[in-house]
Structure 1
Amino acid sequence: MAIQKISESVYMGMCLKIGTPQQVAARRDIVDIVEMLESKEILNGPITVMLSGSHREGMRLSGSDVDIMRWPNNHRVIWDFSQCQFYNTQEHAMILCDSSESPPGFTLLWLPLERANSTVASACVRMNGMLYISSSKYREVTCSIIFSDSTPHGPCSSGSYCSVEYDHAYCFVSDFWPPSASSWIDRCHAWPPPHVVNDIIRNGCHFVAIGHKSGNHTDNEWRISFSRAEYKLVYSMNHTQFLTYGLLKLFLKEIINKGLRDGDKLLCSYHMKTAVFWAIQQNALPHWHPKNFLVGFWVCFKLLLKWVYEGNCPNFFIPENNMFLNNIYGEAQMTLFTQLYILYEKGIALLLHSPSINSYIINVLCNPRLTICTDEHTLISEVELDMDIFNEMFSNASTGSVDLRICRKYLHAVEQSIGLPLTQYHNVMLRKLTATILQRTAFMLHNLYTNTGSNKQLYIVEKMACHMLKIAARFGCVSDMLYIAMYYYKTFRYREALSVIDITKVKLEQPYLMHRSHVDRERYIEAVGGQSLSTKMRQAVAQDIKLYNEIFYINEIIPEQQSSTQNNEPFLIIPPLVLLYMLECLCSRHVNTLRAQIALDDLQVLAHHDQGQLVLAHLKDISWEILGICQQIAGNLQAALYSYQQSLRQDPYHNKIQTATRQRIQDLHL
């Protein structure tokens, strides 16, 4: 009975750390709808991008990196020449797998027609008179394509962006399931269900740029990747199975690999995922539920221990591929087995070594009569759930570099999706993405026609742009009204801008407003509790404003956008109240100088005295910068100098505007 209660307690703790079923479903739906809109069929771009790894699976663990796969749409990998019939070979470069000399799970990629884009061509080598794509060369030529400061890490380019660690894998795709993984199809009797199996097979596989260390062609081989299949398998798990995978990841990080350097870590999270896959498919535990949560963990741990003892970790899709072959053998294998067996002898008490989990075990041991509730609706409040969903939405609401043609395709895709069976998370994310696209379209249209169009064209464009921004404000959140105010300021309609600012200010000052993690919970529930996510977003949620650096919104912050662009940042992020006071100050200078000074005073109070509630630490640089700009425009150069200096003292990792700040200081001529 005690182990059952401890299981439920640890399950509850994992829900709080990793997510309840509702949180995980929302995260997955949000990512899926973004990917659907950006699919190659809709945008028809040269590259397809896919989020993979634990972030895609719906897991949010601190310190986890974001895994992204990218592949060219005009190249396709085939397994035999008969598959050429499904492609227009004038549009697609055919790549043929040659696995004859490669270990299981790896292959050479041969270009039989010797035709490829320039990036692929530069990574080719000749072997036996034929042209092959070298994995090591491909890693070299793609490493710095997205971020110049990326470094190689396995098959990926790694680095940090906006304080988040990333792994970008530049790969190739095959629309066909690998013949070497055909046995996996035959094994799928009970799990995953047939519709998942069919979906996985229909979507083929990928090839990532790393060879087998013991192969004959290490530098040129490619590893077959099942990343898409894996996230679909994780989606098909029940929540207990999903949290078991999460617990194994914590077990690995906080106990097995604790204190080890990266080069000394023999086990990785992929081994943990593989153990869960095999345990579920082999029906090692007939029923996975919170009451036997730790039993499921123990089943997977014993399987892992068996693999280490035998020196064989079979890949879930191609069991002949022993994933321990390269590094877990000999003395290293015996040392690892000894370490794991010592943990095994401790029993479930080994989890007391995990700082994330131990309190949930101790609570039950110290209070055996403790009542444990695993109902997700009581684990987190409506406010906490909403906060998680909206923060997840806003972090995924950014679109890549776009032009008007792409914007039109996005909007057409949104229109097509209206008739689809969408969840509430799909719907609210679609609304936010639509608002983002309309805002970008409006400013791009204006910038395009300001200097090139006739007065009549400009009038039509401005009318269209205003209409788009008003629709965006109805689709988006409270702070989206500031885009209308910016547009009115940009087009010299200062009184109209101030009218919008007045309305927005009232909304932003409501006591129930949710901005990131800042919210008065009771008042939020009183105002919008129980209503739809779309209603909540429109009436009670604000977000920081993203200004895409490829679009100039207002002249006063063009230098900051240029500085940000030079440092590989795609947008500036500005707290909504900071932008509101700036616009109020700029507009009022033309109609009411007293109001301009009041707005400047409000901005100054916000910059000097906010304790991280309205202006987060990583946005203090742009907030001081904007205060300095307004002070400089008002003629107070000494105050502007102080504000610019304060901007330089802030953590620059997000907006990266230091170049502009230093230039502004230099231009003050004090």
Structure 2
Amino acid sequence: MAFSSLYGSSRVETGMQHMSESVFVGLCEIVGISQQVAIRRETVDIREMVGRRVKPYDGIMRMVSGSYREGFRLKGSDIDFMLWPNNHRVIMDMSQSEYYNTADTTLILSDSSESPPGFTLLQLLTPRTIKLVLSACVRMNDRVYISSSIHRQLSCSAVFPNSTEHGPCGSGNIAGLEYDTAHCFVCDFWPLSASSWINRCHSWPDPEVVDDIVRNGCHFVAIGHPLGPHEKEEWRFSFSQAEQKCVYAMNHCQFLTYGLLKLFLKEVINQQSEETNKLLCSYHMKTTVFWAIQQNTLPHWCPQNLLAGFWVCFKLLLKWVYEGICPNFFIPQNNIFLTKVHGPAQNRLFVQLYELYKKGLACLLQSSSIRSYIIHVLYNPRAFVCTDESFIKSEVDCDVEFCHKINHNSFSIPTVDLHSCVKYLYTVEQLVDLPLTQYQVVMLQRLTTPILQITAFILHNMYTNTGVNKQMYIADKISCHMLKLAAKFRCISDMLYVAMYYFKTLRYREASSLLEITKVNLQQPYLMYNDFVDRERYIEAVGGQSWSTKMRHAVAGDIKLDTIICYINELILEQQSAVKNRWPLLYIPVFVMLHFLEFLCYRHIDTTLSQAALDELQVLVHHDQGLYIDVESRDISWEILGICQQITGNPQAALYSYEQSLTQYPFHNIQTATQSRIQDIKGAAPHE
């Protein structure tokens, strides 16, 4: 049933516009309005901008890629990372070697002469390289090449130990979040095989975007062409960075069309049969949108034309499936259908898609996410649909989005020396002068805050045991100044770092006083903590004010402790366990940390208050239903409760808490510490 049959002929166009507008509203609610998408992109961008500038030349670069980087936060989506050695560079021909100092740069030559379009062999030119690359080398025709299959196998679990191979990536799941990590190589030059793309960019993307893409080159990921002569040795060209910039260049309606195609794939196409539900993927949807926009098949991409844009893309996808050819956007000669969509499977998929096509836009009624928005217009054809994004999502929605980003983006400094911290701060100082957006400015401040806090603790730890009072005094003065400077960019929970420092330096009354003030602020009814907030009270308290004001008065986040820096002695065992398992941070729920510090400080001042803090902590850990302690933080929360109970001389209660910690999802990899504490209790128990 096509939608045209649901309206009189004179009302078809109006009905289609209303339908598109309604779907636009629905997609804004599912995918996000343009402001939310901007927050997601800009906060990741500024974080990586800082990361690139402070990374040592012999370090490993990391880039978030895929749909997460593009601005999607759809249920069930994974997060993709690309990693590459910073001092390794791929060149396209030998003449490009003159741009590098081979004394500190490993050069790799791309040799595509025997490979299918979009693939290449990588020849190692300089003997100096890292162990991983050296172990992946094979000799062919008296030349040394890096084998993609060996490299993929060796690097699969380099970031997360339990990863499994999936395409060119190591894949896995952490607390319900799926991830893909692709270890690759970077090239500073745009490949000749993709030069036709530059000439095609007449109307989209803009010349500035094209220049930026070409200037930043490409990557190579570890997977060969199944039909190529050297499948186990070949590497695939990756234009992930270029694709991200193209997605950024879309207007919001085009981005929502891309989102609609992703939903249509997941909820409609892949539900047709088990035989065909693995043939198409999100990358095919992205490629379809890219070609549809660049070929200018729809003059105006706007809310009223959203379904027209979807239909253009769907027809293009149907044509490709019929032909068995899906041309890569940058290297069209590379048919990305070649090894999947062919033969009997291709025929079955085409029949299924054609059946959907015959239904017209009514095929979208099979989408569980979109159906209700379409039905609303079908039953209310004259209903007014407001496409003003400020009415679709409120100020609170955007603040929750931003709050989530600033509280889940933090650095783990790889070394504990002051030089690294100074380098971070110098980098931030340089970035301040750049033309940053309001979100990037605040994000930069939030990235600076933990660096200042870490520097304060590093200084204290360096000079505590020197025995030189003057050095200790100066270090303490600088540390306090750092913490006060960090407080200028603070949210409510950041004051707990100051309280931690006061506790560590035996200033129990100062710490207790600060904890009392912080506790009052954390108990305000308008507090925004992670994704939880009383929307009406929040707007009454801080609505319309600057984000800096909102942070200081109404926002709190988890406490993040770098596992290689000693903040308080009571958590050293847990930090050591995490470090041993390559885990960089302890994420401690703010209310757990508050009661923990209260308990520790009041033990030196008022034992009654100390017991009251322990009671509050116990109630929180035992009875919280995910409001203040999420799944990822339950292991460390039970651990902290056990530590407090063990300190008070209640081994049975502590033993129960430690055992509960072991039953939680092992997000922080602290099991070694937990088992050690259990053994201490059992070893100290009197023998019967």
TM-score (norm 2): 0.94
Map 1:49-448; keep pairs closer than 5 Å: 49-258=62-271, 265-403=278-416, 404-448=418-462
Q: Quick one: which amino acid aligns to residue 527 of structure 2?
A: L
In structure 2, the residue matched to 1:545 is 559
In structure 1, the residue matched to 2:501 is 487
The secondary structure found in structure 1 opposite 2:564 is coil
Query: Aligned equivalents of 1:134 and 1:456: distance in 2?
Result: 57
The secondary structure found in structure 1 opposite 2:408 is helix
Query: Aligned equivalents of 2:119 and 2:680: distance in 1?
Result: 59
Aligned-residue offset at 1:43: 4.6
Map 1:555-566; keep pairs closer than 5 Å: 555-566=569-580
Describe the shift of the 1:357–1:647 C-alpha distance in structure 2 as closer, same or farther (beyond 3 A).
Answer: same
Aligned-residue offset at 1:668: 2.5
Describe the shift of the 1:113–1:655 C-alpha distance in structure 2 as closer, same or farther (beyond 3 A).
Answer: closer
Q: 1:574 aligns with which of 579, 584, 588?
A: 588
In structure 1, the residue matched to 2:31 is 18
After the TM superposition, list the runs of 4 or more consecutive aligned residues in structure 1 that deviate by more than 4 angstroms. Answer: 40-43, 259-264
Q: 1:7 aligns with which of 14, 17, 20?
A: 20
Of the structure 1 ranges 17-26 and 617-626, higher mean CA displacement relative to structure 2 is found in 617-626
Contact 1:64 1:165 survives alignment (8 Å): yes
Deviations 1:512-535 (A, max 9, x none): 111112222222112211111122
The secondary structure found in structure 2 opposite 1:664 is helix
Aligned-residue offset at 1:452: 4.2
Query: Aligned equivalents of 1:262 and 1:134: distance in 2?
Result: 32
Aligned-residue offset at 1:69: 0.8
Of the structure 1 ranges 394-403 and 194-203, higher mean CA displacement relative to structure 2 is found in 394-403
In structure 1, the residue matched to 2:3 is none
Describe the shift of the 1:386–1:211 C-alpha distance in structure 2 as closer, same or farther (beyond 3 A).
Answer: same
Q: 1:460 aligns with which of 471, 474, 492?
A: 474
The secondary structure found in structure 1 opposite 2:236 is strand
Of the structure 1 ranges 342-351 and 255-264, higher mean CA displacement relative to structure 2 is found in 255-264
The secondary structure found in structure 2 opposite 1:591 is coil
Aligned-residue offset at 1:453: 6.2
Query: Aligned equivalents of 2:60 and 2:554: distance in 1?
Result: 37
In structure 1, the residue matched to 2:602 is 588
TM-score (norm 1): 0.96
Query: Aligned equivalents of 1:660 and 1:15: distance in 2?
Result: 45
The secondary structure found in structure 1 opposite 2:220 is strand
Q: Quick one: which amino acid aligns to residue 655 of structure 1?
A: H
Describe the shift of the 1:163–1:469 C-alpha distance in structure 2 as closer, same or farther (beyond 3 A).
Answer: farther
Aligned-residue offset at 1:343: 0.9
Contact 1:446 1:461 survives alignment (8 Å): yes
Deviations 1:214-256 (A, max 9, x none): 1111111111111110000000000010011111111111111
Unaligned runs of 5+ in 1: none
Contact 2:78 2:177 survives alignment (8 Å): yes
**CA-atom RMSD, angstroms?**
1.9
Query: Aligned equivalents of 2:644 and 2:272: distance in 1?
Result: 49
Contact 2:53 2:427 survives alignment (8 Å): no
Q: Quick one: which amino acid aligns to residue 90 of structure 1?
A: A
Contact 1:443 1:465 survives alignment (8 Å): yes
The secondary structure found in structure 1 opposite 2:452 is helix
Aligned-residue offset at 1:12: 0.9
Describe the shift of the 1:141–1:618 C-alpha distance in structure 2 as closer, same or farther (beyond 3 A).
Answer: closer
Q: Quick one: which amino acid aligns to residue 399 of structure 1?
A: S
Aligned-residue offset at 1:617: 4.2
Query: Aligned equivalents of 1:234 and 1:132: distance in 2?
Result: 34
Of the structure 1 ranges 553-562 and 580-589, higher mean CA displacement relative to structure 2 is found in 553-562
Aligned-residue offset at 1:582: 1.4
The secondary structure found in structure 2 opposite 1:237 is coil
Q: Quick one: which amino acid aligns to residue 463 of structure 1?
A: K
Aligned-residue offset at 1:68: 0.8
Query: Aligned equivalents of 1:658 and 1:370: distance in 2?
Result: 58
Contact 2:621 2:638 survives alignment (8 Å): yes
Describe the shift of the 1:646–1:101 C-alpha distance in structure 2 as closer, same or farther (beyond 3 A).
Answer: closer
The secondary structure found in structure 1 opposite 2:279 is coil
Q: Quick one: which amino acid aligns to residue 64 of structure 1?
A: S
Aligned-residue offset at 1:623: 2.6
Q: Quick one: which amino acid aligns to residue 551 of structure 2?
A: M
Q: Quick one: which amino acid aligns to residue 594 of structure 1?
A: T
Aligned-residue offset at 1:6: 1.4
Contact 2:267 2:367 survives alignment (8 Å): yes
Describe the shift of the 1:504–1:64 C-alpha distance in structure 2 as closer, same or farther (beyond 3 A).
Answer: same
Contact 2:501 2:567 survives alignment (8 Å): yes
Query: Aligned equivalents of 2:267 and 2:464: distance in 1?
Result: 58
Query: Aligned equivalents of 2:480 and 2:273: distance in 1?
Result: 57
Q: Does 1:643 align with 2:657?
A: yes
Contact 1:477 1:539 survives alignment (8 Å): yes
The secondary structure found in structure 1 opposite 2:678 is helix
Matched residue count: 669
Contact 1:174 1:206 survives alignment (8 Å): yes
Query: Aligned equivalents of 2:350 and 2:273: distance in 1?
Result: 16
Query: Aligned equivalents of 1:606 and 1:329: distance in 2?
Result: 57
Deviations 1:338-379 (A, max 9, x none): 111111111111111111111111111122232211111111
Describe the shift of the 1:114–1:580 C-alpha distance in structure 2 as closer, same or farther (beyond 3 A).
Answer: closer
The secondary structure found in structure 1 opposite 2:544 is coil
The secondary structure found in structure 1 opposite 2:268 is helix
Q: Quick one: which amino acid aligns to residue 190 of structure 1?
A: S
Of the structure 1 ranges 660-669 and 125-134, higher mean CA displacement relative to structure 2 is found in 660-669
Contact 1:632 1:640 survives alignment (8 Å): yes
Contact 2:492 2:553 survives alignment (8 Å): yes
Describe the shift of the 1:148–1:260 C-alpha distance in structure 2 as closer, same or farther (beyond 3 A).
Answer: farther
Contact 2:407 2:530 survives alignment (8 Å): no
Aligned-residue offset at 1:115: 4.1
Aligned-residue offset at 1:295: 0.7
Describe the shift of the 1:193–1:418 C-alpha distance in structure 2 as closer, same or farther (beyond 3 A).
Answer: same
Contact 2:271 2:277 survives alignment (8 Å): no
Q: 1:535 aligns with which of 544, 549, 553?
A: 549
* Percent of aligned positions that are identical: 63
Describe the shift of the 1:662–1:120 C-alpha distance in structure 2 as closer, same or farther (beyond 3 A).
Answer: closer
Aligned-residue offset at 1:641: 3.3
Of the structure 1 ranges 425-434 and 468-477, higher mean CA displacement relative to structure 2 is found in 468-477
Unaligned runs of 5+ in 2: 1-13
Deviations 1:117-158 (A, max 9, x none): 322121111111111111111112212221221111111111
Query: Aligned equivalents of 1:461 and 1:261: distance in 2?
Result: 65
Query: Aligned equivalents of 2:370 and 2:680: distance in 1?
Result: 55
The secondary structure found in structure 1 opposite 2:189 is coil
Of the structure 1 ranges 443-452 and 257-266, higher mean CA displacement relative to structure 2 is found in 257-266
Contact 1:163 1:653 survives alignment (8 Å): no
Q: Quick one: which amino acid aligns to residue 629 of structure 2?
A: V
Contact 1:163 1:654 survives alignment (8 Å): no
